Chain A
């Protein structure tokens, strides 16, 4: 497809389960971002990749959160031992270059809605 694709769109997990969320960015996009959006709030930055390098993971809430992008394209966000407070929409975004180059446009996927029971 032409846009950023995320899967699954919806995920229900029992507390303590591990989950993996996948992001397929737009082909050729160098930069990839993960954001977390709690209900009724704006997205919060989690982590940033430039190609396969994870340049910033300062937004990851705990060491239960892990992201990778091994070949510089598809990325996976993994959450171990999920807790109820992890319930949110996880948004992936990509851009051809950085925010300050070109139009600065980030292309977002529709998100993966995680509900932890």
Chain B
């Protein structure tokens, strides 16, 4: 069963627009961790954030912000005032407490920012 669903396959925006990436997860554990990674064309995944299931505070880091809602099992990611350098594939991932070393990734959302 898919543990992480990223319903948006591709998103295309014009520079300076905001873009929100959806992530819905599924787990029976009460303790779990959620992640976002960025994969630019070069291929390596770049860590963006980790949140644990007990911390529902929204987080902002520069132009990036994350909205974690346990009630809807969602961990959405917003890029404000997008730039061409934000063009990449973005992955949401889940780590459950039983296997805390494993990441279950979603299928990814390709973001294209046009100048």
Interface residues of A (CB under 8 A from B): 3-4, 31, 33, 35, 40-45, 48, 55-56, 59, 89, 91, 93, 98-100, 103-111
Residues of chain B lying within 8 A (CB to CB) of residue A43:
45, 91, 103, 105
B33 adjacent to A91 (CB under 8 Å) = no
A-B pairs with beta carbons under 8 Å apart, 16 shown: A3-B44, A4-B44, A31-B101, A42-B4, A42-B107, A43-B103, A44-B105, A45-B104, A56-B101, A91-B45, A98-B101, A99-B50, A99-B103, A104-B35, A104-B95, A108-B37
Interface residues of B (CB under 8 A from A): 4, 33, 35, 37, 42-47, 50, 91, 93, 95, 99-108
Contact of A105 among B42, B50, B108 (CB under 8 A): B50
Query: What's the least CB distance linking A114 to chain B, in Å?
Result: 13
Residues of chain A lying within 8 A (CB to CB) of residue B108:
40-42
Minimal Cβ-Cβ distance residue in A for B48 = A105
Residues of chain B lying within 8 A (CB to CB) of residue A4:
44
Closest 5 CB pairs of A and B: A42-B105, A104-B50, A108-B45, A105-B47, A110-B43
Please report the C-alpha to C-alpha distance between residue A99 and residue B34 in the assembled complex, in whole angstroms. 11
Residues of chain B lying within 8 A (CB to CB) of residue A42:
4, 91, 93, 105-108
A100 adjacent to B100 (CB under 8 Å) = yes
Please report the C-alpha to C-alpha distance between residue A104 and residue B57 in the assembled complex, in whole angstroms. 18
Where chain A touches its partner, the secondary structure class is loop
Please report the C-alpha to C-alpha distance between residue A3 and residue B103 in the assembled complex, in whole angstroms. 20
Query: What's the least CB distance linking B69 to chain A, in Å?
Result: 20
Query: What's the least CB distance linking A93 to chain B, in Å?
Result: 8
A43-B45, A56-B99 given. 12 additional CB < 8 A pairs? A4-B44, A41-B107, A42-B93, A42-B106, A43-B103, A48-B101, A98-B100, A104-B35, A104-B95, A106-B45, A108-B45, A110-B43
Residues of chain A lying within 8 A (CB to CB) of residue B100:
98-100
Minimal Cβ-Cβ distance residue in A for B31 = A100
Query: What's the least CB distance linking A99 to chain B, in Å?
Result: 5
